[in-house]
């Protein structure tokens, strides 16, 4: 089934709205179903049209992007902030924001966001669950319907939070999306082999090829280290 995603734009600046529209036209699976210059009008349309993606500014007259997102938590699968204000990034995590982009929009960064969105929705259709009853010392069981997949811990490169789901990336280039939060999944992994390095990432310590103060490399994958986790690399030496 071919992927088709609907999106809305909410921004009080016309040039910003046009910039998002222009970038979005580069992806033929994205369908524009509404553009608004204020959050109040957008809220009325969101409840009727149920977009898959919502691109929103934060600082707007009347209802701000933050206030709007508080009202629609759980209604839009992938809300994305596009703003000139980096200081709201931490607060956005509590609002289940999928991504946080800074103005002016960078084409490469926007494409990265869309690629992540595409992967999320494709995997979402195949979302799996952890079968805790059959966990072993060296593997976990992931199930989808009646099918079960054995995933060895050694094969896991890293895990990435995707809202209420977690993406498990493996050395076999097979990704699994499981209906479990990153924090919940961390409790089911051996603590001597997996380490949380960011609000959005858990890494397999044995798969780390090198690291710096604020980044970790797992082969060709570059992952950020969150500020509150930057004392962790000393334990890997």
Quick: pLDDT tens for 127-175.
Answer: 766 665 444 568 888 876 677 888 899 999 999 998 778 999 999 888 8
Quick: pLDDT tens for 65-94.
Answer: 999 999 998 889 999 999 999 999 888 877
CB 124 within 8 A of CB 142: no
Mean pLDDT of 40-49: 94
Q: Rounded CA gap, 37 and 16, in Å?
A: 10
CB contact set of 196 (below 8 Å; sequence gap of 6+): 182, 186, 202, 229
Of 128, 134, 136, give the one whose Cα is nearest residue 152. 136
H helix runs in the chain, sequence order: 14-24, 39-49, 65-71, 89-93, 107-124, 182-186
Question: In the chain, what are the domains?
Answer: 5-124 (3.40.50.2300), 129-236 (2.40.50.1020)
For the chain, counts of helices (H) and of strands (E): 6, 16
CB 58 within 8 A of CB 91: no
Q: Identify the residue whose tokens are 């960011």.
A: 198
Whether 24 has a pLDDT exceeding 80, the answer reads: yes
Q: Are strands 156-162 and 210-211 parallel, antiparallel or unpaired?
A: unpaired
What local confidence, expressed as pLDDT, does residue 221 receive? 92
Q: Rounded CA gap, 194 and 192, in Å?
A: 6
CB contact set of 90 (below 8 Å; sequence gap of 6+): none
């Amino acid at each position: 089934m071919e992927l088709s995603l609907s999106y809305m734009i909410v921004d009080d600046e016309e040039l910003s709205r046009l910039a998002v529209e222009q970038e979005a036209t580069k992806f033929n699976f994205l369908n524009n179903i509404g553009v608004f210059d204020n959050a109040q009008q957008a809220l009325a349309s969101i409840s009727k049209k149920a977009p898959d993606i919502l691109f929103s500014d934060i600082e707007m007259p009347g209802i701000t992007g933050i206030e709007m997102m508080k009202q629609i938590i759980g209604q839009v699968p992938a809300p994305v902030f596009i703003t000139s204000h980096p200081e709201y990034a931490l607060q956005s995590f509590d609002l289940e924001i999928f991504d946080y982009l800074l103005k002016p929009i960078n084409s490469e960064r926007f494409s990265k966001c869309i690629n992540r969105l595409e992967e999320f929705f494709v995997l979402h259709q195949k979302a799996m669950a952890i079968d805790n009853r059959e966990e072993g010392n060296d593997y976990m069981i992931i199930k989808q319907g009646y099918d079960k997949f054995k995933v060895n811990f050694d094969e896991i490169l890293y895990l990435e939070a995707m809202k209420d789901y977690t993406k498990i990336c493996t050395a076999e280039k097979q990704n699994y999306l499981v209906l479990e939060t990153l924090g919940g999944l961390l409790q089911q992994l051996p603590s001597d082999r997996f380490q949380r390095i960011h609000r959005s990432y858990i890494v397999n310590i044995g798969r780390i090829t090198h690291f710096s103060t604020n980044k970790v490399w797992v082969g060709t994958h570059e992952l950020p280290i969150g500020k509150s986790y930057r004392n962790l690399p000393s334990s890997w030496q």
